[in-house]
Structure 1
Amino acid sequence: MPVVSVKRLDIPDVMLFEFRIFEDNRGFFTELWKRGEYLALGLPYDFVQVNLSHSRPNVVRGLHYQLKPSEQGKLVYVVKGRVFDVAVDVRRGSPWFSKWVGVELRPGQALWVPPGFAHGFQAIEESWFLYLVTKEYDQAGERCVNWNDPVIGVKWPNTAGAILSDRDKACPPLSQAEHNFEYTPITP
């Protein structure tokens, strides 16, 4: 079994996974995704696209999501480095709407970000970040929320030194962002 532990965060649909790592004098090996194991955990998703990003320290990416019918669930994993990873609930009617959870991720851990959540991270150090997603990228459905929206109130590690793309700087606050998700409990 690749997954050693699963922790539901304060928004219980978002889960933190710890993986078994086999390490020796050659390096290490770990399994990140085994379909049957995730099905047993109540995650009936298959991944259709894998993305890899490289970020320098203090880079912020996000907060991104895709509208229905292209909504994505994401299993995100730090290959090398450390990031502060964030999921924001953008499902109308959710008891956690506009609330966020964040964790520091390092190699050996992954975060499950379900559909209906905006996702982003800040690199604490130079980092390589792997995303396994449940639906392909859809430029027409892509949306974002301002990374530093005071209504959401994410406590980023370094706001003064944050480095963002022009696109992410221009993201609207949640109150002005388009989102078409309705809350239905997805916790198994």
Structure 2
Amino acid sequence: MKATETNLKGCFIIEPTIFEDERGYFFESYNHKNFCEAIGREVIFVQDNQSFSKKGVLRGLHFQKGEHAQAKLVSVLQGKIQDVVVDLRKDSPTFGQHLSIELSEENKKQVFIPRGFAHGFLTLSESAQVFYKCDNYYNKEAEGGVRYDDDALGIGWHLNFEDLILLEKDKGLPLLDINNSQRDMHNQQRQ
């Protein structure tokens, strides 16, 4: 397994070691010891989630607030997605920045997303099955989100906006107020 930290501190791209022969392939999709060593910290996953989406479905950008925040390990079992994470940690030098990566059943890459990030994905293939592990239990009252089309984030989605399929709830998520958040951070640092 190879773990590469992205420009967003604590966020890693995980590439498994794949063994292929005439029968097909084999790889460890998760090994707790190796995973924790690769990212340099202990993470205990307590919940697994799986979704099925048609082409054009955009899920996100979601997060859990406060004590219910979740770290996630995201992979694709079938199909292809554009996976996007946004750093919402106000004390981070990469606050408001995002990572966009293609995950697919072919490349078998995974993304580890630490707590403090919003997450979303867009289905690029005719359908996709996405699987992700979480280190905290889902709590409906702790739901949060950021608009997928926020100009301040500058996310280059791989499909046209008119081709996207979203829940009305996701269309109404708030914009990330980067300027006010950065001003608040600056004021806190001066105090």
1:93 aligns with 2:91: yes
Aligned residue for 1:56? 54
Q: Secondary structure, in 3 states, of the residue corresponding to 2:163?
A: coil
2:102 to 97, 101, 104: 104
Aligned residue for 1:38? 35
Which one has the largest radius of gyration?
2
Q: Secondary structure, in 3 states, of the residue corresponding to 2:55?
A: coil
Letter in 1 for 2:8: I
Task: Output the TM-score relative to the length of structure 2.
Answer: 0.86
- What do residues 44-82 of structure 1 show as CA deviations (whole Å, max 9, x unaligned)? 111100000011111100000001101100000000111
Letter in 2 for 1:173: L
1:160 aligns with 2:147: no
Aligned residue for 1:186? none
1:81 aligns with 2:83: no
Q: Secondary structure, in 3 states, of the residue corresponding to 1:160?
A: helix
1:106 Cα deviation from its structure 2 partner: 1.3
* CA RMSD, Structure 1 to Structure 2 (Å): 1.8
Aligned residue for 1:8? 5
Q: Distance in 2 between matches of 1:44 and 1:87?
A: 21
1:25 Cα deviation from its structure 2 partner: 4.8
1:166 Cα deviation from its structure 2 partner: 1.5
Q: Secondary structure, in 3 states, of the residue corresponding to 2:177?
A: helix
Mark the runs of 5 or more structure 1 residues left unpaired by the alignment: 183-188
1:167 Cα deviation from its structure 2 partner: 1.5
Q: Secondary structure, in 3 states, of the residue corresponding to 1:40?
A: helix
Q: Secondary structure, in 3 states, of the residue corresponding to 1:36?
A: helix
1:18 aligns with 2:8: no
Task: Output the TM-score relative to the length of structure 1.
Answer: 0.87
Aligned residue for 1:172? 174
1:118 aligns with 2:118: yes
Q: Distance in 2 between matches of 1:53 and 1:23?
A: 27
- What do residues 118-168 of structure 1 show as CA deviations (whole Å, max 9, x unaligned)? 000111111100010000101011111111111111111012311111221
1:29 Cα deviation from its structure 2 partner: 3.0
- Per mean C-alpha deviation after superposition, the further-off stretch among 76-85 and 9-18 is 9-18
1:8 Cα deviation from its structure 2 partner: 1.7
